[in-house]
């Protein structure tokens, strides 16, 4: 049996394909394996076309782990003060947990606490109460399948609930579920945090998942982010979770999701070259920081 790496290196499926249809998923699985990755992150933005059994089988044949992620929409938003809208968001999260379970994923992450988009006002106290209650129930559902939930810290233009690691940890404390972890993303941290190191050290063993992305979401090392400091901080807290590369370009379009993420620019054309470069970049950083 192949030993699971201490820090599995992953890649987001949108590097390869915008759809979740069987052909797109097979391409993403095969390409991720060929590029040397340990796991593939699948966004559950379009589950109607997702062949769950087929995708799981393809990943198992390739020896590739799967992680699932998603955000919510304004019509199904757990942070809404409207109980009906919040309930629709919770139902969507519950359905996503079941899909992730059936895919064999042990981790389900993302902005699970709100819609993915720019709000025009601060979070309503009633909405926060809805978030806490819903996440508690969703965490229990996930725990029944041995799954961990990751609260991704996103920037102010994508949520009004959690924008910093500190806010994420406060929400985790308020929910009080042991399988609820923090998910940090260097792209979002560049916008909201003072630096890339202190949030990692503040999270400590409550950090469960990491997204690596440049400040413009293109090739790693082509922007201005201090990845050396970030990886050293991961080593300081003895981080043992996945490290997943996330990059978006108008060359690969996911209906709806690409617009939600404001992917207007063509930052790369060759996903295979991008992914190989990112795999080597992350592996070198992991090695140099003494993570494994």
pLDDT along the chain (292 residues), means of 10: 76 91 95 97 92 97 97 96 98 98 97 95 98 98 97 97 98 98 98 98 98 94 96 97 86 57 65 93 96 78
Cβ neighbours for 184, distance < 8 A, ≥ 6 positions apart = 152, 153, 165, 199, 200, 203, 207, 209, 210, 211
* CATH code for the domain in which residue 53 is found: 3.20.20.150
Point out the catalytic residue in the list 152, 158, 193, 214: 152
Note whether residue 4 is domain-resident: no
Domain membership flag for residue 256:
yes
- Is residue 78 within 8 Å of residue 113, measured between CB atoms? yes
Tokens of 125: 């106290």
DSSP 122: P
Beta pairing, strands 107-110 & 65-69: parallel
Residue 89 lies inside a defined structural domain of this protein: yes
Question: Does residue 2 belong to any structural domain of this protein?
Answer: no
Say whether 84 is catalytic: no
Is 52 inside any structural domain? yes
- The reply to whether 20 falls in a domain is yes
Residue 67: the pLDDT is: 98
What's the whole-model pTM score?
0.94
User: Rounded CA gap, 123 and 45, in Å?
Assistant: 24
Tell me whether residue 3 is one of the annotated catalytic residues.
Answer: no
Q: How far is CA 41 from CA 200, 230, 290, in A?
A: 21, 21, 25
Dihedral angle of Cα 280, 38, 182, 146, to the nearest 10 degrees:
-170
Q: Is residue 3 part of a domain?
A: no
Give the HSE-up count for residue 255: Cα atoms under 13 Å, Cβ half-sphere: 7
The dihedrals phi and psi of 27, each to the nearest 5 degrees, come to: -65, -45
* Integer Cα distance of 153 and 167 in angstroms: 8
Domain count across the chain: 1
Q: Domain span at residue 76?
A: 9-289
- Domain-located, residue 123: yes
Give residue 1's pLDDT: 37
């Amino acid at each position: 049996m192949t030993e699971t790496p201490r820090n599995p290196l992953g890649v987001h499926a949108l590097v390869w394909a915008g759809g979740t249809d069987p052909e797109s998923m097979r391409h993403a699985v095969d390409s991720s394996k060929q590029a040397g990755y340990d796991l593939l992150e699948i966004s559950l933005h379009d589950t109607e076309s997702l062949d769950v059994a087929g995708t799981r089988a393809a990943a198992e044949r390739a020896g590739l782990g799967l992680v699932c992620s998603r955000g919510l929409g304004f019509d199904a938003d757990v942070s809404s003060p409207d109980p009906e809208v919040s309930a629709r968001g919770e139902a969507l999260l519950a359905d996503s947990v079941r899909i992730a379970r059936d895919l064999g994923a042990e981790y389900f992450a993302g902005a699970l606490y709100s819609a993915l988009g720019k709000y025009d006002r601060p979070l309503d106290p009633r909405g926060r109460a809805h978030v806490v209650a819903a996440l508690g129930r969703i965490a229990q559902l996930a725990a029944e399948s041995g799954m961990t939930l990751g609260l991704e810290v996103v920037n102010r233009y994508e949520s009004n609930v959690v924008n910093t690691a500190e806010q994420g940890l406060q929400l985790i404390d308020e929910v009080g579920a042991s399988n609820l972890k923090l998910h940090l993303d260097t792209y979002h941290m560049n916008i909201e945090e003072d630096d890339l190191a202190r949030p990692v050290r503040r999270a400590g063993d409550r950090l469960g998942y990491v997204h690596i992305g440049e400040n413009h979401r293109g090739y790693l090392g082509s922007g201005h982010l201090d990845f050396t400091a970030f990886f050293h901080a991961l080593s300081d807290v003895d981080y043992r979770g996945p490290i997943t590369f996330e990059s978006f370009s108008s060359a690969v379009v996911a209906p709806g999701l690409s617009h939600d993420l404001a992917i207007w620019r063509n930052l790369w054309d060759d996903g295979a070259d991008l992914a190989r470069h990112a795999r080597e970049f992350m592996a070198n950083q992991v090695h140099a920081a003494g993570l494994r």
